Amino acid sequence: MREISFDTETTGLNPRGGDRLVEIGGVELINHVPTGNAYHVYINPQRDMPIEAFNVHGLSEEFLSDKPLFAQVADAFLEFVGDATLVIHNAAFDMGFINMELERAGKRVIPNSQVIDTLEIARRKHPTGPNSLDALCNRYGIDNSRRVKHGALLDAEILAEVYLELIGGKQTALSLVPDEELASGGGGENGAAEFGQLGPFSARPRPKPLAARITAEEFAAHKAFVDGMGDKALWGKYVGGPSED
């Protein structure tokens, strides 16, 4: 299963009111594990940078002036995303900007069905809040000391850690089969992964018991030792005989 922990920075809050994207960051996860593959780009918004936005991310109009336009990076961005699920904190905000820019560039938009909103997950899991990214880092003991200002790639990296905690920690499953098989009930005759799945399953007996690893002489010596404990010895209930198989 491929997911992308994702974040953006912008010139403001309103994608339909003239605000634009200025930075995109994405971190690839395969089966909830970061692969080291990432996407990052600064974008020239072709407009001024309001001081309120600059104070958040520190990206000035001068710094962004020689960066590519979104239309120039749209194809590379869509290629990186592919059919992966985007994991976003407060997804409505980021997707509003991404899809606005994609529309302007004449590209396909990304449907909501391809997005997971970690803010919604956090609100369900921690209904009393707070559920900002910084608050969740504090809750889960995630180091966010580098987050002096917002940055799309850094925030995507931090969000990946938060996301794993929200869905159950770094070991959400110990499965040796693809998540798709687990979701569909595959992975063995019992409709579950035969090894490693954390979840209900029906154990099957071995068709043939394993051969004993002790010799007949060793078993006889052990039985004599147990017999010496008397009739009430607990071991007497469990001493049988070595397997003939």
User: Exposure string (b/e) for 169-204, b if CB count within 10 Å is 16 or more?
Assistant: eeeebebebeeebbeeeebbeeebbeeebeeeeeee
| DSSP class per residue in 131-171 | -SHHHHHHHHT---TT-SS--HHHHHHHHHHHHHHHTTSS-
Nearby residues of 208 by Cβ (< 8 Å), 6 or more positions away = 245
Which two structure tokens, joined as six digits, stand for 87? 């994991």
- Could you give the CA distance from residue 118 to residue 3 in angstroms, rounded to a whole number? 13
Beta bridge partners of 23: 9, 42
Q: Catalytic: which of 32, 57, 89, 150?
A: 150
Q: Are 158 and 147 in contact (CB under 8 A)?
A: yes
Among candidate residues 172, 170, 174, 142, the one with its CA nearest the CA of residue 158: 142
Q: Are 103 and 20 in contact (CB under 8 A)?
A: no
Which two structure tokens, joined as six digits, stand for 129? 């809040």
Active site residue 222: no
Q: Are 42 and 23 in contact (CB under 8 A)?
A: yes
Measured in residues, the chain has a length of: 245
Q: Which residues are catalytic?
A: 150
